[in-house]
Amino acid sequence: MQIHVYGKERTVTDGFDDYLDPARTAIVSIDMHRGHLDPSPDCPCPAPRAREIVAPIDAFHERARALGVPVIHVRTVLRRGGVDDVKGIPSAWRRTFPLYVGAIPNSDAHAIEGSHWTELMTHVGPEDLLVETKKRLSVFYPTDLDFLLRNLKVETVVLNGGFTDCCVLNAAFDASNRNYHVVVARDLVRGTDDALEGAALAMVSLHLGLVVDSAALLAEWGTRVSGRGSPSASVPA
């Protein structure tokens, strides 16, 4: 299978079978909600580069579901009134990120429960699972994602969403530290910019897991499912 190591394509033929077993895998899609993706000027924490991966993520999830791979959508949701963040102990990014991008006019509205900013922009299938208690950069803190994955008997997590150099990288570190196999779909994540995105993917490839293209991963899963003789072995075009 083709993977990417420090930005260069490599072929691996063995040594990672346990990373690539669809029967022990779940997809974790990170923060693909309106609070990052809405094109309006009052978007509270804009991630415009991630808008272009909404449709590709939806297509990837559709094909993964057909192969029996569960999809988990994780989104940040903060309590009304701001006690989880702006009126409690503010997230560090609220102070540091504006040093680079400038003031973010509506940032206090980011991810407030009940607001339209928490609406997922990617499709949620009826069989998909939701984790909605993410309040900082990691999908594992302070959520029940680990509890859910253990009950699904998942050993490998495939990450997509944003930001590559922020929440995706945090997810990769925390998943690896919990002894999950980590796979990042490089074409289905977006970072702050190309440089930081590349750096984050390089770190994943050196220290945390596999960096792959989603098409190659789907093809690998399809081959493995077909080999088991599953009735869902066909991969939709």
**What type of residue is 145?**
L
Cα–Cα distances in Å, from 152 out to 8, 37, 185?
Answer: 33, 30, 21
Asked whether residue 51 is assigned to any structural domain, the reply reads yes
CATH of the domain at 119: 3.40.50.850
Asked whether residue 72 is assigned to any structural domain, the reply reads yes
Asked whether residue 189 is assigned to any structural domain, the reply reads yes
What's the domain range around 191? 2-227
User: 119-132, pLDDT tens digit by residue?
Assistant: 999 999 999 999 99
Gap between the Cα atoms of 172 and 18, Å rounded: 17
Asked whether residue 232 is assigned to any structural domain, the reply reads no
Asked whether residue 233 is assigned to any structural domain, the reply reads no
Gap between the Cα atoms of 176 and 207, Å rounded: 9
User: 134-174, pLDDT tens digit by residue?
Assistant: 999 999 999 999 999 999 999 999 999 999 999 999 999 99
Asked whether residue 32 is assigned to any structural domain, the reply reads yes
Asked whether residue 234 is assigned to any structural domain, the reply reads no
Asked whether residue 131 is assigned to any structural domain, the reply reads yes
Residues 6+ apart with CB under 8 A from 96: none
Does residue 231 have a pLDDT over 80? Answer: no
Number of domains the chain contains: 1
Three-class SS state of 126: coil
